[in-house]
Amino acid sequence: MATVKKDIEEVSDKITKVRHIVKKRAEKLEEKKLQETPLSEGKSWKELEFSHPERTIRIGTLFSGIGAIEHAFQRLGLKHKIAFAGDIEPKCKLSYFANYEISEEDWFYDVRDFDAKKYKGKVDFVIGGAPCQAFSMVGHRLGFEDARGTLFYEFARVVKETSPKLFLFENVRGLLNHDKGRTWQIMHDIFEELGYDVKFRVLNSCNYGIPQHRERVYCLGFRKPTKFEYPAPIELEYKMYDFLEDYIDTKYFLKEKGIKFVTSHKNRDKSYTQINGDIQLCQKRNQQFNWHGDFVYHPDSELTPTDEAFDEFIFDVKDVEEKYYLSEKVAKYVLAGGTKNFKTSTETDLDVARPLLQSMHKMHRAGVDNYVTHKGRIRKLTPRECLRLMGFKDSFKIVVSDTAIYQQAGNSIVVDVLIALLKQLDITKYGI
């Protein structure tokens, strides 16, 4: 937490200057209602063909992470060249260099120290999603008062210095209503002042092929006036279960404390946790370490949940309140088998239930009540599953620790949404 506080309260001459500029702009701002760009009503983006597949698109990325746009180009099989990329997180560099072709001299560490002037005329498409915690609904929402919020100006500066044919700026949807919409209006105005035709819309990844609820603002800027409509949603063909691995290391299974948190009625009602969901909750960089997010009920059986012979009467753990589980103390009592003067059967999971009694709620009637165990355990998603649910194919090499890749996946842009945008744009028109 100390690191986050330091990021928020960080002070430098540049940050102070940006805050001063924002304050002056806010004072002079003539408020207007900015309308989201409409969705296309024409041919589905899935059916669109690229007009110039022989061309190469030169891309430059900021806050590059693990290269979502780069992976999108790989998946589409499009010719591209990485002009520059960078990220302040050292482990992102390890993942990036393991998966993409880039020279050391074209990688930067801190965007605030990055001089992009030498790339002017050498990049077609600039992409970046500045850190979103400053505007996130679940963050501090300090906006430009948060040092991370001022990094938007670095993105705008790089656009100005490189003058690409188009840019893509991605952020959380909370950006649009931050400070009653004034924050977004300032950003929008700055992009227009740079000479770009600006379009924007909130898109949810579950509408573009990935079963994850992740709403983000996708802002496009065109150097020339351009008629553009955002790709229309498609029907979701897959459930989260389709993205899971077959064989799981035992280290991903939760212990008692984690299970109690994940299955609690309060946490599930507030959508902090979800078990066996069809559509994933929005991935976050720290979800695997605070037991928030998605979990899987994993059967300990030779049969899998997709097997028709699987026992349909094994109830789903998400339907069972934690209060129905025996505490360790009561469980020991129930399974003790009685005393030397009184012996009783301690069988659980009976084929035929014992008579149901009105006193069952007391939960200590060994040998009389019916007790069941779940034929399975609850586990968290693996790093590979998290990557799959961000649109990264298994060709993406994992070269860092689980901790790092969980964070990198949660910070990424969903690749499939980018693919929809690239097809709708016919990105090859902007290549050389």
Look at residue 127 in the predicted model and tell me its pLDDT.
98
Res 371: pLDDT: 59
**Inter-residue contact 310 to 304 (CB < 8 Å):** yes
In angstroms, the Cα distances linking 110 to 93, 113, 127, 288 are 12, 6, 16, 27
Query: At residue 311, what is the residue type?
Result: D
pLDDT digits (tens, 9 = 90+) for 109-123: 998 899 999 999 999
Give 43-79 as a 3 state SS string. Answer: CCHHHCCCCCCCCCEEEEEECCCCCHHHHHHHHHCCC
Q: Name the catalytic one among 132, 206, 219, 282.
A: 132
User: Which pLDDT score, from 0 to 100, does residue 138 have?
Assistant: 42
Q: pLDDT tens digits, residue range 29-61?
A: 667 788 999 999 999 999 999 999 999 999 999
- Collapsing DSSP states into helix, strand and coil, what is residue 18? helix
Reported as a single tens digit per residue, the pLDDT across 274-299 is: 888 889 989 888 776 667 888 887 66
Can you give the residue ranges of every domain in the chain? 2-236+397-430, 240-384
pLDDT at 65: 95
In sequence order, the 6+-apart residues with CB closer than 8 A to the CB of 312 are: none
According to the model, what pLDDT value does residue 296 have? 85
342 or 314: whose pLDDT is higher?
Answer: 342
What average pLDDT does range 398-402 have in this prediction?
A: 95
Phi, psi (deg, nearest 5) at residue 22: -60, -45
Q: What is the largest CA-CA distance in the chain?
A: 91
Highest mean pLDDT among 14-23, 170-179, 344-353: 170-179
Quick check: is 219 catalytic? Answer: no
Name the CATH code of domain 2-236+397-430 (choices 3.40.50.150, 3.30.360.10, 1.20.120.1780, 3.30.70.3270).
Answer: 3.40.50.150
- Convert the pLDDT of each residue in 216-248 to its tens digit: 999 999 999 999 999 999 999 999 888 888 777
Answer yes or no: is pLDDT of 203 > 70: yes
Mean of the pLDDT values across residues 403-419? 93
Q: Any idea which of 22-26, 237-241, 424-428 has the lowest mean pLDDT?
A: 22-26
Angle separating helix axes 182-193 and 13-28, nearest 10 degrees: 100
pLDDT bucket at 353, cuts 50 / 70 / 90: very low
pLDDT band with cut points at 50, 70 and 90 for residue 7: very low
Report pLDDT digits (tens) over 128-149: 987 644 443 444 433 334 434 4
- The sign of the CA dihedral 200, 201, 202, 206 is negative
Q: Is the pTM value of this prediction over 0.85? A: no
Burial class (CB in 10 A: 0-12, 13-18, 19+), 225: exposed
Per the listing, tokens 């393991």 go with: 98
